[in-house]
Amino acid sequence: MSLSPGDIVAIEKVGVSAGVPPPEGAAATVIEGRSPWRLAYERLRRDRASMISLGVIVLIILVAIFAPVVAAITGHGVYEQFRTTGLSPDGLPVSPSSHFLLGTDDQGRDILVRVAYGARISLIVGVVATLLEVVIGTVLGLAAGYFGKVVDTVIARVIDIVLSIPFLLFAISLVSISHPSLTIVIVVIGIFGWAAVARVVRGQVLSLREKEYIEAARALGAGPWRIMFIDILPNIVAPIIVYASLLIPVTIVIEASLSYLGVGVPPPTADWGTMISGAQQVYQQAWWYLLFPSAALLITTVAFNIFGDGLRDALDPRAEQIYK
Amino acid sequence: MRRSKQRMMFIVAATCLGMLAAACGNGGSSSTSTTAASGAIANQRYAANDSGTPVTGGTLTMLGTGDVDYMDPNVSYYAIGYLGLRLWSRSLYTYPAVQGQTTNEVPDLATANPTITNGGKTYSVTIRQGAMWNTTPNRQVTAADAVLGLKRTCNPAQPFGGQPDFSTLIVGYADFCSGFAKVSATDASAMKAYIDANNFSGVSVDPSNPQTVVYNLTQPVSYFTNILGLHAFDPAPVEYLNYVPAGNDLAQHTISDGPYEVQSYNPANSLDFVRNPAWKASTDPIRKAYVDHIHVNETGTQASIQQQILTNTPQADMEWDSFVPTNDIPGLLASNDPRLSLETEYSTNPYVLFNTQSPNNSGALGKLQVRQAIEYALNRTNLIQDAGGPKVSPPLTQVLPPGITGSAPSYNTYSYDTTKAKQMLSAAGYSGGLTLKFLYRPANQMSSKMFQTIQADLGKLNITVTGVPVPNADFYTKYLEVPSTAKTGVWDLSLAGWSPDWYGNAAASFFPPLFDGRVLPPTSSNFGLFNDSTLNPIIDAALKAPTEAAAGALWHQADVETMKQAAIFPITDPNQAVIHGSQVHHAIYMAPYEQIDPTNVWLSN
């Protein structure tokens, strides 16, 4: 009986290379079995760029969690407008100073505090919308790949249609019809983003469903749902995780784009896209208003992208490593 | 009655080149004044560049971002359309390019002010001999053309948007229009047949003089001469009957009686004007027509236009529908750039709108005390900061902006006072606070900023303001102009803006459309469905006032009553900032066109 991918156990010799006899007099070789996840983790740990990115992501998460603490330390509420100290009489933002470390926006609000709170929105949308995309895409991809025939044809055509829709334009229209809100933004991104995941999952399932262990499961009387979710799904988790990690920065940028275009998260919620949009009007007089939210967005997306690539390299060592 | 759109647009489109501006100021004369000709308009700045001896000739290049609304004088209703018409379609009365008098109407095609008889109900206007159409052969502009022009205003294809100004005032006009509305909107011959077959006593040619047009009114009013200055009343040549009004075909076959004729019109792209050989300077006291050729490029962006003019690019003389970005203004003012004009729009734009019929919070906004509490709670200074500061947006504390008959500059019913606001809110039974829905446009920078400012201001009163964000395109058409959205409480507060159709004795262009509760949107622009039994009779009386002075007193009463009833919260009468190249001389800003008058500038190179 052949082993299924989920049953593969990698065996390495600790302290010696495999196949090389131990030096004379050495203690008996200790052989430790390590799972693919452990191996992937170790490969990831050796990837410096990925680890730095992970550190940045953790830092962003901490900033998002402790945004109220930033507000408390500065004494500036996220919605608090400092009309006299934070704005010129002509309504222009004031530059970074000891009072406002990153300057103020066009409403006299502390950019530091708003960038910190903006991280919450980006992460919430990035994670939740991606989760939605992955769940929908995985379920439909599994169904298409496993059932095949009419189900596959229908789902595959739907995937084609969704992928051919000009996403941003359609998303703008959809968000415009309903009043913009965080929930709407997440749902819209989820609705349009699942197709790529479904296509990846479908491809994986098509190859796995012919494996002997699936045939064995079927012979033992397992139903289609059990096979899909118990036997197949665990074996395609790695590519899904990789894809999800790369989807997060895309989702964050889409959310920022929608907010930038005025159809995303409504004001006064602190949001990087909305801040960048507001800064467009005054960026020559107030560079800080454009720079800091843009930098936050850039750093976040780059960190997620590098980490996603690293994750891919770690989970699939055959793939070419990009960042080292 | 024009809804103010432009200012909102420029906030949206604003891009900044302030530092560049500071570095590029040069030649020309300018003057700065804290009070305007009317004596009450703040922070105006004139940049006429009147030095030197006028030179004839050259090509004036105007840069813009958009097109005219229509190439049809009897239909066009927006400032940019009027700016184009200034070149090629003369009005009976118009505004002179004379500093300090740019909103005082004077005869244009008319030989003199109208002769008023019949107790103020009949106006006779005689058209100048020698004013010619550029037809082949050239033909005299006649009173019959003026009659035709007025008839065309209510064509079924594209009626003139400002008809409510005079639809019930001119005898028989409303009936004529209701019949015209039944004619096919796509059949030019059917419209021609209707116009030929139907007359109404409100407008006719004086039997004794084919150059005199006679208007009969249902009641005497003090502002009809101002109305005669609308382009809608421009004479129209009989050839226009061959085309669907405001249509593309007509736009390519315009006939001119102004100093310029249309050489080419490429919609949304370019316009070229050359001298009209049929025009005689002796018949036109308004337009000097110094330049030979005017080229309008409509494909620019606000930022690029600003940059080109600031750097004195030879192909960038003046703006067309563009203007100086708000955030650039402080820098230009600081450098005392002599090319910058900052002049009033004579508008109230924006103002906070109360939905007086909202059922939300047990009809809170229908209660005077609640509206008054909000008037006290809103900090105008903060909102003006959002609009670029007091230099760009001087405060307005009443309905009528300075310069409009009936306006009283020092009049302010509600000074910022949160303590008083809280007391009033408590007395109205809302000590626990309330929640109001604010209709706004997130894609519009100023709308979005002001929403957040108002949210913060009213938060101090324990009033929670929640946003109702809607797309720009839906804001008026699907919300404000639909009374059911107000009545069902879709929104409680919003922002709107208003510019008059004419100037000076123009309060009739404010109160009836904005506050007469007997007419509802979409016929009027009383978006808050405000109805005050005290105000309505004052409006009626002011409309019937025989003289401007009498009307002015009544309009002031109307203003006081409107503010007492807290129908709106005025914010500002903004100044418009425009700029021109140093080579452009006699650059007089004209509020009706929201630009410098191209028919009176001359070029020094």
pLDDT digits (tens, 9 = 90+) for B44-64: 788 888 888 999 999 999 999
Number of H helices, E strands in chain B: 20, 27
Q: Choose from A105, A106, A172, A281 for mutation: most chain B CBs within 10 A.
A: A281
In this predicted model, what pLDDT tens digit does every residue of B186-208 receive, in sequence order? 999 999 999 999 999 999 999 99
Q: List the single residue in A with minimal CA-CA distance to B389.
A: A90
Share of chain B above pLDDT 90, in %: 77
CA of B78 to nearest chain A CA: how many angstroms apart?
26
- Over residues B134-151, the pLDDT tens digits come to 999 999 999 999 999 999
For chain B, what are the domain ranges? 69-251, 349-571
- Name the pairing type of β-strands B93-94 and B106-107: antiparallel
Give the DSSP letter of residue B475. Answer: I
- For B576, which DSSP code? E
Q: Which CATH architecture has domain A49-323?
A: Orthogonal Bundle (1.10)
- Cβ contacts of B225 within 8 Å, gap of 6 or more: B93, B105, B113, B114, B123
Rounded mean pLDDT, B557-570:
97
Share of chain A above pLDDT 90, in %: 51
Helix or strand run (H / E) with residue B468: strand B463-469
The dihedral of CA B207, B212, B213, B217: what is its sign?
A: negative
Concatenating the DSSP letter of every residue in A180-221 gives P-HHHHHHHHHHHHHHHHHHHHHHHHHHHTTSHHHHHHHHTT
Around Cβ A98, how many Cβ atoms within 10 Å? 5
pLDDT above 70: residue A150: yes
pLDDT at A8 over 50: no
- A169 reaches B (C-beta below 8 A): no
Cβ-proximal residues to A275 (8 Å cutoff; 6+ apart), any chain: A105, A111, A114, A115, A118, A289, A293
pLDDT at B333: 84
Q: Which residues of B touch A90 (CB under 8 A)?
A: 329-330, 385, 388-389, 391-392
Beta bridge partners of B580: B318
Q: Please give the ipTM for the structure prediction.
A: 0.73
Q: Determine, for residues A282 and B11 on separate chains, whether the beta-carbon distance falls below 8 Å.
A: no
Residues in chain A: 324
Strands B340-344 and B584-585: unpaired
- The CA-based angle B463-B468-B474, given to 5 degrees, is 145
Q: Is B471 on the interface with A (CB under 8 A)?
A: yes
Give CA B477 to chain center in angstroms: 19
pLDDT (mean) for B586-605: 94
Are A262 and B442 an interchain contact pair (Cβ–Cβ within 8 Å)?
yes
Least Cα distance to A286 among A94, A108, A85 occurs for A94
CATH number 3.30.1330.120 given to B69-251: no
* Global confidence as pTM: 0.80
pLDDT given at position B323: 87
Q: Report which of B358, B566, B377 is spatially closest to residue B455, judged by C-alpha positions.
A: B377
Res B40: pLDDT: 54
Q: Are B154 and B160 in contact (CB under 8 A)?
A: yes
B302 contacts chain A (CB < 8 A): no
Q: Does A77 touch chain B (CB under 8 A)?
A: no
- DSSP character for A321? P
Establish whether the linkage from the previous residue to B522 is cis, with ω within 30° of 0: yes
The CA distance from B425 to B423, in Å, is: 5
Sequence-distant (≥ 6) Cβ neighbours of residue B129 within 8 angstroms: B140, B211, B283
As a whole number of angstroms, the distance between CA B368 and CA B533 comes to 14
Contact A267 B453 (CB under 8 A): no
Q: Any alpha helices (H) in chain A, and if so which ranges?
A: 36-46, 48-65, 67-74, 111-147, 149-164, 167-177, 182-208, 212-219, 224-226, 237-260, 272-279, 287-315
How would you classify the pairing of strands B106-107 and B575-579? Answer: unpaired
The rounded distance, in Å, linking the Cα atoms of A310 and A320 is 10
- Whether chain A has a CB inside 8 Å of the CB on B106: the answer is no
Sign of CA dihedral B573, B577, B578, B582: positive
Give me the mean pLDDT over the B283-296 stretch. Answer: 98
CATH 1.10.3720.10 maps onto chain A at 49-323
A-chain residues within 8 Å CB-CB of B453? 81, 107
Contact B479/A at CB under 8 A: no
Share of chain B above pLDDT 70, in %: 93
Rg for chain A (alpha carbons), in Å?
A: 25
**Rounded mean pLDDT of B76-88?**
94
Handedness of CA B61, B67, B70, B76 (dihedral sign): negative
Q: What is the reported pLDDT for B570?
A: 97
Interface test with B, best of A284, A285, A287, A289 (most B CBs within 10 A): A284
Report the gap between the CA of B45 and the closest CA in chain A (Å): 17
User: Which of B18, B381, B386 is closest, CB to CB, to A285?
Assistant: B18
Q: What is the dihedral of CA A109, B13, B320, B162, to 10 degrees?
A: -90
Residue closest to B257 by CA, chosen among B98, B94, B61, B106 = B94
Strands B270-275 and B139-140: unpaired
Q: What is the pLDDT of residues B418-449, one digit of tens each?
A: 999 999 999 999 999 899 999 998 877 788 89
d(CA B385, CA B393): 8
For residue B2, what pLDDT is reported?
Answer: 53
| Mean predicted confidence (pLDDT) in B459-474 | 89
CB proximity B448 to A under 8 Å:
yes
Of A228-232, B521-525, B579-583, where does the model show the most confidence?
A: B579-583
Beta bridge partners of B590: B595
Picking from A243-257, B103-117, B223-237, B281-295, which range would have the lowest pLDDT averaged per residue? A243-257
- Among A249-258, A312-321, B252-261, B363-372, the range scoring the smallest mean pLDDT is A312-321
Q: What is the pLDDT of residues B120-131, one digit of tens each?
A: 999 999 999 999
Sheet of B203-205: strand order equals B115-117, B122-126, B212-216, B203-205
Question: What pLDDT was estimated at residue A23?
Answer: 57
The residue among A261, A266, A247, A269 whose CA lies nearest residue A170 is A261
Mean pLDDT, residues A288-307:
95
CA distances from B369 to A40, B430, B437, B566 (A): 69, 10, 18, 9
Which tens digits make up the pLDDT trace of A12-67? 433 444 445 555 555 566 777 777 778 888 888 888 999 999 999 999 999 999 99
For residues A307 and A3, the model is more confident at A307
**Alpha carbons A303 and A309: distance in angstroms, whole number:** 10
Inter-residue contact A44 to A238 (CB < 8 Å): no
CA distance B457 to chain A (A): 10
**Among B113, B71, B102, B133, which residue's Cα sits nearest to residue B228?**
B113
DSSP A179: P
Name the more confident of B499 and A319.
Answer: B499
**pLDDT at position A119:** 96
B492-535 tens-digit pLDDT: 999 999 999 999 999 999 999 999 999 888 778 899 999 999 99
Judged by CB atoms closer than 8 Å, whether chains meet at A90 and B442 is answered as: no
CA–CA distance, A21 with A23 (Å, rounded to integer): 6
What is the fold, at CATH topology level, of the domain defined by B349-571?
Dipeptide-binding Protein; domain 3 (3.10.105)
- Asked if B450 and B383 count as a contact pair (C-beta separation under 8 A), the reply is yes
Chain A residues within an 8 Å CB radius of B456 = 79-81, 268
B261's tokens: 């004729």
Give every CB contact of residue A304 below 8 A, 6+ residues apart in sequence.
A53, A57, A126, A245, A246, A248, A249, A252
Cα–chain-centroid distance for residue B128?
27
Residues of B in contact with A266 (CB under 8 A): 442, 467, 469
pLDDT in tens, B327-357: 788 788 888 899 999 999 999 999 999 999 9
Please judge whether B441 and A79 are an interchain contact, meaning their C-beta atoms are less than 8 angstroms apart: no
Among A69-78, B174-183, B514-523, the range scoring the smallest mean pLDDT is: B514-523
The CA angle B419-B423-B426, to the nearest 5 degrees, is 140
Give the SS3 label for residue B426.
Answer: helix
For residue A21, the model assigns a pLDDT of 54
Nearest one of B475, B445, B301 to A277, comparing CA atoms: B445
- Which residue(s) pair with B261 in the sheet? B274
- What whole-number distance in Å separates Cα of residue B388 and Cα of residue B450? 12
pLDDT at B355: 98
Phi-psi region of A218 (alpha: psi -120 to 50; beta: other; left: phi over 0): alpha
Q: Distance between CA atoms of B592 and B571, rounded to whole angstroms?
A: 21
Separation of alpha carbons B240 and B231, rounded Å: 15
CA dihedral B386, B387, B389, B391 (to 10 degrees): 180
B391 CA to chain A: closest CA distance, Å?
8
- How do residues B233-277 score in pLDDT, each as one tens digit? 999 999 999 999 999 999 999 999 999 999 999 999 999 999 999
Does the beta-carbon distance from B385 to A179 stay under 8 Å? no
Mean pLDDT of B160-179: 93
Q: Is residue B558 pLDDT above 50, yes or no?
A: yes
When CB atoms are compared, the residue of A81, A176, A282 closest to B327 is A282
Q: Mapped to the 3 state alphabet, what secondary structure does A22-69 carry?
A: CCCCCCCCCEEEECHHHHHHHHHHHCHHHHHHHHHHHHHHHHHHCHHH
Q: pLDDT of A94-131, one tens digit each?
A: 999 999 999 999 999 999 999 999 999 999 999 999 99
* Residue B116, phi then psi, degrees to nearest 5: -110, 125
